[in-house]
A and B are shown apart, each in its own frame.
Chain A
Amino acid sequence: MDGLRELTYLEAVREAMSQEMRENEDVFILGEDIGVYGGAFGVTRGMIEEFGPERIRNTPISEAAISGTAVGAALTGMRPILELQFSDFITIAMDNMVNQAAKIRYMYGGKGKVPMVLRTPAGSGTGAAAQHSQSLEAWMAHVPGLKVVQPSTAYDAKGLLKAAIDDDNPVIFYEHKLCYKTKSDVPEEQYSIPLGKANIKREGRDVTIVATAIMVHKALEAAEELEKSGISVEIIDPRTLVPLDTETIIGSVKKTSRLVVVHEAVKRGGFGGEIASIIAESEAFDYLDAPIKRLGGKAVPIPYNPDLEKAAVPGVDDIVLAVKEVLNRS
């Protein structure tokens, strides 16, 4: 393929934004320390040099204001990208996302639109502890009017971010911190991956794993391990929680008859419950040959100690065990 090279996930996010900003004057970024500092994780590094401080807009530490400002700008014709340093801070921006961005179009009877992207790094694994490590995507997925994206690879990140920016609705774009350094082949040219299209990361026969974000990588590792015992695992990455590609998931479960759902977010009230319920309500139910298994974070704030931090979220071993359990081979 032309212009294919390896890029990190972080570079892919940056490239998607830069390319779009070159194409579309209406796109700009606002966020804290995204200017010369380059953003908390360095995603916007170098961009202020190219696009200037007007469009790479350093903001005060005011998540409530910048989220609302993004809403107002979007409502009046811009396509803002809002970077929140940590997805945990979405709690401060929540009112604007939940009560304003998500509802304006509907409340106004279909007039007005809010084409904005809220990008934000999520997840544990960096030792940042309880207030900087959460995975709160289920909250956002619950709110009608928002779209929720969770890319797991560099390739997906670039294509999904392009689609998110092009979308006329508010999109919450979760970037997993541990994914930032992962690499994959990414085309140089712009491309779009439609929101609502799941990706089969690995084909298999015996069991379907639906995994999101970093858990896609862990599931792939687990699948390698399980292969040695002759267990063939299919891994589906929904990529977007809203809209959700139910068709691909249902199709896969009909094929394998077994489902394990894995996410890092706390299992209780997590999106895995939604996926499990969708299968239970779907035609795939009659094909289930084992109870659905959900793996998610323990119901605990993410601890600081590295060992405890690991223990709080599902690991490769947990996935291997869960798969064996649904196959009665544990």
Chain B
Amino acid sequence: MAKEIFMPKLSSTMEVGTLLQWFKNEGDSVEVGDPLFEIMTDKINIEVESYEEGILLKKYFAEEDEIPINHVIGYIGEAGEHIPEAPPGESVAAVQDILSDSRQPAMHDLEEIEISETTTINETGDTGNENSQSEKIRATPAARRVAKEHNIVLSEVPGTGPKGRIHQKDVGDFLQSAPKATPLAKKVAGAERIDLHTINGSGPQGKIYRADVEKMRQPSTASETGGRRMKMEGIRKVVAERMLQSKTTAPHVTLTTEVDMSEAIHLRKQLLGTIEKQTGFRLSYTEIVLKAVAACLKRHRNLNVSLEGNEIIFHEEINLGIAVAVENGLLVPVVKEADQKGLSDLTAECKRLGTAARNSNLKPQEMSGGTFTISNLGMYAIDAFTPVINQPESAILGVGRINEKPVGRNGAIELRPMMVLSLSFDHRVIDGAPAAAFLTNLKEVLEQPFKLLV
């Protein structure tokens, strides 16, 4: 019997995948493990490999088609086998296979993706709360009805029933705690889908008037007059959610220091040729900063940490994320065990990851497991900034441009190539003094790179 090819579910939030390209044509023979097609999900682009061997009998979809998860995309089987003319819809086999875990290698891959994504690229960060995803909300019909009547998003309502089930009373309590607003303001906000919580009321005790709501509406009104509208989706949406999550849960503190980069520049010049010969890539300051950060983190273990639930995890490995700007968003590929690698390896790896990120073919495991992130805006005219922590990590280093500045040195003013480092850390987990000590150490290492040898 012909075997189904189906749209795999690659993350807990994935509902559809976009078919980017087929690697096989109808009639081609396929081996187990052969790349069949490439898809784009809300997070990544990935090549999907075949679980079956045989002849690719049918391709129901073309490039750019959006296909719901578990829906049959095509069939593999023996030549001449009968298969449906039209796409048969959801694959029963797919669901069963995932549940029964019968196809070892391929399925394990999927599971790893599942696991790694929930821990590292989880957009909300609160995996413990079942109400974080709308399709999983436990709420009674009465609670749903009342919530609907009052335009309340159930995911925001804490449930007091068994397993967090939301009851009518919970919605009532939530309503009580909701911002005070005039009926007209509520109506306008409801119509415009503006959350009253986000509005600052100008009335007594913060009561929201219609005018307050209208103010919120301004930007969209303006754009109605001609601006382009784009739906928040894919990477953009994930970035948005994660930034909001990080900023609203982690109390950020940002420390800055200026580093004299004279020695580092010197070092780079000396190594440039050697490394280019070895790797074909040119050593950049990113890799030098990376090397220095890895070395310092080794000495300042309390910055290489994550907060999970009520526990602080001190990571053994030093895995450094590098923020890479891509079209429509931001990706953070990870250099694993950066402290174990020399500048040559780091250069090769950073370049490869950067290219992969921009071409949307990072593998999930290349985006997971980071313990500290570096964001380099040195190519722009930026001196210092306040980077947002890449959760569940607890600290991020912002790297500014190298700029000649007048600096006081031995009683005289000299022009020196200076660079500002901005370290944002999560004050829940890391205190100011250790953070300052780390940043001081980092400054020392960059100003005297030979210390890297110690």
Contact = CB atoms under 8 A, between A and B. Distances in A.
A touching B, CB within 8 angstroms: yes
Interface string B142-170: 11110000000000000011100001110
B87 interface: no
Interface in B325-372: none
Interface in A268-308: 285-291
Contacts of A240: none
B203 interface: no
A328 interface: yes
A287 B145 contact: yes
A288 B161 contact: no
B142 A289 contact: yes
Given A257-B168, A289-B167, A290-B167, A328 B161 contact: yes
Nearest to B141: A288
Name the prevailing secondary structure of the A interface residues.
loop
Interface in A254-273: 257
Given A257-B142, A285-B141, A288-B142, A328 B162 contact: yes
A63 B269 CA distance: 110
Contacts of A286: 141-142, 144-145
B215 to A, nearest CB: 35
A289 B144 contact: no
Contacts of B169: 289
Contacts of B167: 289-290, 328
A35 to B, nearest CB: 56
B162 A289 contact: no
Interface residues of A, number: 9
Interface in B124-145: 140-145
Interface string A227-263: 0000000000000000000000000000001000000
A328 B162 CA distance: 7
B142 A287 contact: yes
Contacts of B142: 257, 286-289
A291 B144 CA distance: 14
A288 B167 CA distance: 9
Given A257-B168, A328-B167, A290 B160 contact: no
Interface in A58-108: none
Contacts of B160: 328
A286 B140 CA distance: 8
A207 B168 CA distance: 14
A224 B141 CA distance: 28
Contacts of B145: 286-287
Contacts of B143: 289
A290 B142 CA distance: 8
Contacts of A290: 140, 161, 167
24 contacts: A257-B140, A257-B142, A285-B141, A286-B141, A286-B142, A286-B144, A286-B145, A287-B141, A287-B142, A287-B145, A288-B140, A288-B141, A288-B142, A289-B140, A289-B141, A289-B142, A289-B143, A289-B167, A289-B168, A289-B169, A290-B167, A291-B140, A328-B160, A328-B161
Given A285-B141, A288-B142, 15 more contacts: A257-B140, A257-B142, A286-B141, A286-B144, A287-B141, A287-B145, A288-B140, A289-B141, A289-B142, A289-B143, A289-B168, A289-B169, A290-B167, A328-B161, A328-B162
Interface of A: 257, 285-291, 328
Instruction: Identify the 10 closest CB pairs spanning chains A and B, nearest first.
Output: A289-B142, A286-B145, A289-B168, A288-B141, A289-B140, A257-B142, A287-B142, A286-B141, A289-B167, A285-B141
